[in-house]
């Protein structure tokens, strides 16, 4: 479904960048009804740190043309950044590096 709807294009781009990343085995992901949820592996016991990339239709949506990526920390020091969708992949990998210490693929190496 997501690959057929342009509004979800940035989510597809993020997932594809994960698939080709050398750090892909260090991440686990799922989707809620609305969002992409990513944690580092191995998955620890609760509470866990999590990244959420808001999708169109999210309960916490970004304005049209923007992406919102949030880091939920067990300490309560959560981060939320909103940027244009063209920055979604580099923003995602910035969060992955800062929050999980995992190097990702630069945009030009992630199939774009």
Predicted confidence at residue 8, as pLDDT, reads 83
Q: What is the DSSP letter of 24?
A: G
**Which tokens hold the place of 98?**
């800062």
Print the domain residue range for 58: 2-104
- 52 near 36, Cβ under 8 Å? yes
**Which tokens hold the place of 94?**
């910035």
Closest CA to 94 of 60, 53, 36, 46: 53
In a domain, 26, yes or no: yes
Predicted confidence at residue 112, as pLDDT, reads 45
Predicted TM-score (pTM) of this structure:
0.85
Domain count, the chain: 1
Give the pLDDT means over successive 10-residue stretches in the chain (112 positions): 70 93 91 90 88 89 91 90 95 94 67 46
Query: How far is the C-alpha of 69 from the C-alpha of 65, rounded, in Å?
Result: 14
Predicted confidence at residue 105, as pLDDT, reads 63
């Amino acid at each position: 479904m997501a690959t057929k709807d342009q509004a979800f294009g940035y989510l597809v781009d993020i997932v594809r960048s994960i698939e080709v990343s050398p750090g892909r085995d260090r991440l686990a992901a799922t989707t809620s009804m609305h969002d992409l949820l990513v944690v580092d592996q191995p998955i620890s016991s609760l509470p866990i740190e999590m990244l959420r990339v808001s999708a169109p239709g999210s309960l916490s949506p970004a304005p049209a043309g923007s992406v919102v990526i949030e880091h939920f920390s067990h300490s309560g020091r959560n981060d939320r950044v909103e940027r244009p969708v063209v920055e979604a992949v580099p923003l995602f990998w910035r969060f992955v590096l800062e929050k999980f210490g995992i190097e990702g693929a630069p945009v030009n190496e992630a199939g774009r």
